[in-house]
């Protein structure tokens, strides 16, 4: 075998080994010289796959290690990103809150400033209006208007009852609503608005509910009839309500006690509806059932009394004791002119005076409701009763005019005259003081000696005044 032929298998094995056709052991068998030469690891055909295996293992280890490190760092990175995002959101929220707070403060300041200016303008206008209203001529003029309107009311109401009785429920509702709203604002300024929680206002509300919401309820009809013709109507006699036509307060007091029984009187006897389609509760009820009507009336009264005791007597106790609020109870129990009522209420001492008065009022309500049962049954009795109440209010008003008002009116006018005189005197003193100051200044200018011009001035003024 030639050298070229012997080299060919080795060259082939190096350049393109074919493991299935020719192996490293075959080369050793065919050429003994190869046995004497050391085997080169770089050229060994079995080492090539090992290199690739090692490279693959190293690459896998590297990738696995880096991936494991990345996966280990991933929660840290995510936590950092979350913290950064949270910090950014917190800063944005803080900036937004600061901006909103600044805007709110600016708006609040602007609103307070506007409200302060508006309040100042209103106070100034009210002060000017009060000063104007205190003038004697204005007081007399307003009293004349109030008296005329009151007399017009007394004349027009009977005419409406006789000609258009179906209008009376609406007239009653409108007038009592206006009067009560006006009274609320007038009493609110004096801290008297708790008076509007008394039973008379409660009965007015229940009467309106019957007229417009529950006209078919016979139980409610019996209750409102007894309460309006009982304790509400008799209060004109008990509390001496006076028909003083120029006094809005006294006219309102008479109206809220007199108008509800008149409205129900018209609905019961004069309403032009023989079939009772508008107020079905009147149908087939010529008399009030005594037991059910009294039960309904007393139940309504107790409902009001318990609510009043809880929300006024108990919850507003501190304000009432401090004098910040006035109620009818404190007014009556502390009024020296209350007479027998105050004495009886204090029978068991100051501590139980309110509870005693509540018991007295319950008995008073029950007794007066018994009479109201008869007024529903007899037309003439009902008519005489209402006319008598009106005459009592007129008599009380006449007594007020003759015994109280004339003196108060004279005293009020004298007080106004004194105020005007004081203002004129103060103005005159200020004018004299200003004149004295001007004279002193002129004397100091002339070295303490009056000049000829100054000496001649009084004569000139007198001459000018004489010419005028």
What is the per-residue pLDDT across 82-119, written as a single tens digit (0 to 9) for each? Answer: 788 888 888 888 888 888 878 888 888 888 888 778 87
Tell me the pLDDT band of 395, cut-offs 50, 70 and 90: very high
Q: What is the distance in angstroms between the CA of the first residue and the CA of the last residue of the chain?
A: 171
Report how far residue 325's alpha carbon sits from residue 192's, in angstroms, rounded to the nearest whole number: 6
Percent of the chain with pLDDT over 90: 41
- pLDDT recorded at residue 140: 77
Average pLDDT over residues 27-37: 47
Here the tokens at position 303 are 């409902």
Q: What is the pLDDT of residue 71?
A: 58
Convert the pLDDT of each residue in 227-274 to its tens digit: 999 999 999 999 899 999 988 899 999 999 999 999 999 999 999 998
Share the mean pLDDT of the chain. Answer: 79
Would you tell me the crossing angle of helices 248-265 and 379-399 to the nearest 10 degrees?
170
Using CA of residue 52, residue 57, residue 62, residue 64, what is the dihedral sign? Answer: positive
Half-sphere exposure of 346 (CA within 13 A, CB side): 13
pLDDT at residue 16, rounded to an integer: 45
Q: Rounded CA gap, 66 and 299, in Å?
A: 88
Q: Which of 168, 330, 311, 304 lies closest to 227 in space, CA to CA?
A: 304
Q: How far apart are CA 318 and CA 212, in angstroms?
A: 39
* CA Rg value for the chain: 53
The pLDDT of residue 203: 98
| Alpha carbons 256 and 175: distance in angstroms, whole number | 9
- Break the chain into its structural domains and give their ranges: 46-133, 153-415
Question: What average pLDDT does range 362-370 have in this prediction?
Answer: 97
Q: Give pLDDT tens digits for 300-355.
A: 999 999 999 999 999 988 888 887 788 888 887 776 666 788 888 888 888 888 99
Range among 220-224, 404-408, 415-419 rated most confident: 220-224
* Other C-beta atoms lying within 10 Å of the C-beta of residue 154: 14
Q: How far apart are CA 171 and CA 190, in angstroms?
A: 29
| Distance (Å, whole) CA 108 – CA 285 | 62
Write down the pLDDT at residue 322: 81
pLDDT in tens, 130-157: 666 556 677 778 778 888 888 998 999 9
Q: If you average pLDDT over residues 161-175, what whole number do you get? A: 96
pLDDT at 455: 38
* Residue indicated by tokens 């393109």: 16
Residue 104 corresponds to which tokens in the numbers above? 């709110």
Tell me the residue length of the chain. Answer: 468
Tell me which range, 35-39, 171-175, 448-452, is most confidently predicted by mean pLDDT. Answer: 171-175
Residues 6+ apart with CB under 8 A from 181: none
* Token pair 């309504």 in the structure block, residue: 300
- Measure the CA–CA gap between 462 and 313, rounded to whole angstroms: 72
Report whether 283 contacts 276 (CB < 8 A).
yes
The token duo for 263 is 């409205």
Kindly state the percentage of the chain with pLDDT values over 70: 72
pLDDT digits (tens, 9 = 90+) for 266-313: 999 999 998 999 999 999 899 999 999 999 999 999 999 999 999 999
For 177, the token pair is 């609503």
- What is the reported pLDDT for 415? 77
- Rounded to whole angstroms, the Cα distance separating 14 from 234 reads 136
Per-residue pLDDT, 436: 58
Of 378, 390, 362, 411, give the one whose Cα is nearest residue 251: 390
| Rounded CA separation 126/143 (Å) | 20
Q: Summarize the confidence of residues 195-203 as an average pLDDT.
A: 96
| CA pair distance 47, 186, nearest whole angstrom | 114
């Amino acid at each position: 075998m030639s050298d070229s032929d012997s080299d060919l298998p080795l060259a082939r094995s190096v350049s393109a080994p074919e493991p299935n056709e020719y192996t490293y052991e075959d080369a050793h068998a065919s050429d003994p010289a190869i046995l004497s030469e050391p085997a080169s690891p770089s050229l060994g055909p079995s080492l090539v796959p090992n290199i690739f295996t090692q490279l693959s293992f190293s690459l896998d280890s590297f990738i696995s290690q880096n991936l494991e490190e990345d996966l280990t760092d991933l929660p840290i990175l995510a936590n950092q990103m979350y913290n950064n995002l949270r910090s950014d959101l917190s800063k944005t929220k803080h900036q937004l809150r600061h901006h909103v707070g600044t805007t709110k403060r600016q708006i609040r300041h602007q609103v307070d400033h506007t409200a302060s200016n508006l309040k100042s303008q209103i106070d100034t206008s009210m002060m000017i209006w009060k000063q104007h209203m205190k003038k004697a001529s204005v007081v007399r003029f307003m009293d004349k208007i109030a008296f005329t309107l009151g007399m017009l009311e007394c004349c027009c109401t009977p005419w409406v009852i006789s000609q258009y009785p179906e209008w009376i429920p609406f007239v009653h509702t409108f007038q009592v609503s206006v009067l009560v709203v006006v009274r609320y604002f007038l009493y609110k300024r004096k801290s008297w608005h708790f008076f509007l929680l008394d039973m008379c206002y409660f009965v007015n509300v229940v009467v309106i509910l019957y007229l417009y919401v529950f006209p078919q309820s016979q139980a409610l009809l019996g209750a409102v009839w007894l309460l309006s013709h009982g304790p509400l109507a008799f209060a004109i006699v008990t509390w001496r309500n006076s028909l003083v036509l120029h006094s809005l307060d006294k006219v309102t007091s008479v109206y809220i006690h007199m108008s509800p029984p008149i409205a129900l009187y018209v609905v019961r006897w004069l309403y032009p509806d023989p079939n009772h389609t508008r107020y079905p509760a009147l149908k087939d009820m010529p008399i009030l059932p005594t037991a059910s009507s009294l039960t309904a009336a007393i139940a309504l009264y107790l409902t009001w009394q318990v609510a009043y005791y809880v929300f006024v007597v108990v919850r507003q106790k501190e304000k009432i004791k401090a004098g910040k609020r006035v109620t009818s109870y404190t007014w009556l129990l502390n009024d020296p002119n209350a007479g027998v009522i105050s004495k009886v209420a204090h029978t068991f001492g100051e501590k139980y005076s309110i509870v005693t008065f509540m018991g007295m009022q319950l008995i008073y309500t029950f007794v007066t409701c018994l009479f109201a049962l008869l007024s529903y049954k007899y037309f003439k009795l009902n008519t005489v009763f209402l006319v008598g109440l009106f005459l009592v209010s007129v008599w009380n008003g006449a007594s007020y005019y003759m015994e109280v008002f004339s003196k108060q009116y004279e005293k009020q006018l004298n007080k106004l005259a004194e105020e005007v005189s004081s203002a004129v005197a103060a103005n005159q003193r200020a004018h004299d003081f200003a004149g004295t100051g001007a004279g002193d200044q002129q004397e100091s200018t002339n070295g303490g000696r009056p000049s000829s011009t100054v000496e001649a001035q009084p004569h000139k003024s007198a001459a000018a005044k004489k010419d005028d």
